[in-house]
């Protein structure tokens, strides 16, 4: 089955109240981004904001302190990643997609540039929904 990875639009209180027997994406607004985990999102954040990778990675604080080998693991996405995605025009999004596609993480996943671009288009639509709602976006991942 692989690693499940979703972006979830929710407050931390909404996340804390989730039924552990259900996937968050089944009950909260979300976007399935399987294949795009924390490292890939941090790389995207680095590209969008022009920051180094380490600070970009540190910008995803863990929301849950629960220790588990299978997850779930929940991280809050940095607001500047979400607003940057939401605000990008078509040309900027294409440039970011091309740069992201050249990264080691994306090349190892063997994604084509058009797949990377489509992922960003989907993430941008979700980011615009998030900005309009005023709610934070979280990365939820589990085995």
Residue 84 structure tokens: 């940057």
Domain count, the chain: 1
Q: What is the pLDDT of residues 72-88, one digit of tens each?
A: 899 999 999 999 999 99
Q: What CATH number does residue 11 fall under?
A: 3.40.1760
Q: Mean pLDDT, to the nearest integer, of 102-119?
A: 92
The H or E element that residue 138 is part of is strand 137-142
d(CA 53, CA 55): 6
pTM for the full predicted model? 0.93
Q: Please report the pLDDT score of residue 76 as a whole number.
A: 97
The alpha carbon of 44 is separated from its chain's Cα centroid by a whole number of angstroms, namely 9
Q: Determine the structural domain holding residue 85 and report its residue range.
A: 4-142
Q: What is the pLDDT of residues 1-51, one digit of tens each?
A: 468 999 999 998 999 898 888 999 999 999 999 989 999 999 999 999 999
Terminal alpha carbon distance of the chain: 8
């Amino acid at each position: 089955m692989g690693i499940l990875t979703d972006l979830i639009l929710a407050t931390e209180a909404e996340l804390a109240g989730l039924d552990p027997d259900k996937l968050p994406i089944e009950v909260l607004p979300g976007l399935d981004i399987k294949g795009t985990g924390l490292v890939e999102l941090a790389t995207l954040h680095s590209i969008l904001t022009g920051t180094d990778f380490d600070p970009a990675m540190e910008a995803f604080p863990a929301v849950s302190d629960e220790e588990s080998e299978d997850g779930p693991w929940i991280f809050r996405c940095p607001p500047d990643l979400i607003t940057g995605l939401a605000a990008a025009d078509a040309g900027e999004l294409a440039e970011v997609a091309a740069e992201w596609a050249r990264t080691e993480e994306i090349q190892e996943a063997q994604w084509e540039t058009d797949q990377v671009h489509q992922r960003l288009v989907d993430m941008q639509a979700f980011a615009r929904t998030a900005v309009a709602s005023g709610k934070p976006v979280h990365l939820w991942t589990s085995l």
